[in-house]
Amino acid sequence: MRMLFTAALVAVFLWPFAAAAQPPCQPRDRVIELLAARYREAPVAMGINKMGALVEVLTSADGATWTIVVTTPAGMSCIVAAGEGWRGKPPTVKGEGA
């Protein structure tokens, strides 16, 4: 069911951009609102990539569902991955001083 909805969500995002051959993106606030409403997902991790884009992992409270969203500096967000069974892992550092 999750995959079916994700495919539908991507299709909804893709439809307005199909003629322009652009990725399925929407303003960040809209994407976050949709994921919160449909899956009760909220951001649990984030970082900035080398291109200046915000990369976020959103999960439901129990980790049953997860989504990775990339947001451009202009504020447009794209869903790049989604799935089930998210498990967080504490960071581990190996090497000198660890």
C-beta atoms surrounding 73 within 10 Å: 10
What b/e string do you get for 4-24 counting C-beta neighbours within 10 Å, with b at 16 or more?
A: eebeebbeebeeeeeeeeeeb
Radius of gyration for the chain, computed over Cα atoms and rounded to the nearest angstrom: 15
State the pTM of this model.
0.71
Residue-level pLDDT, tens digit, the chain, 98 residues:
565 555 555 554 544 444 444 556 999 999 999 999 999 999 999 999 999 999 999 999 999 999 999 999 999 999 999 999 999 888 888 876 65
What pLDDT does 91 receive?
Answer: 83
Element (H, E) at 78: strand 76-84
Residues 66-70: contacts with CB under 8 Å, at least 24 apart: 66/41, 67/35, 67/39, 67/41, 69/28, 69/31, 69/32, 69/35
C-beta of residue 60 within 8 angstroms of C-beta of residue 72: no
Domain edges within the chain: 2-84
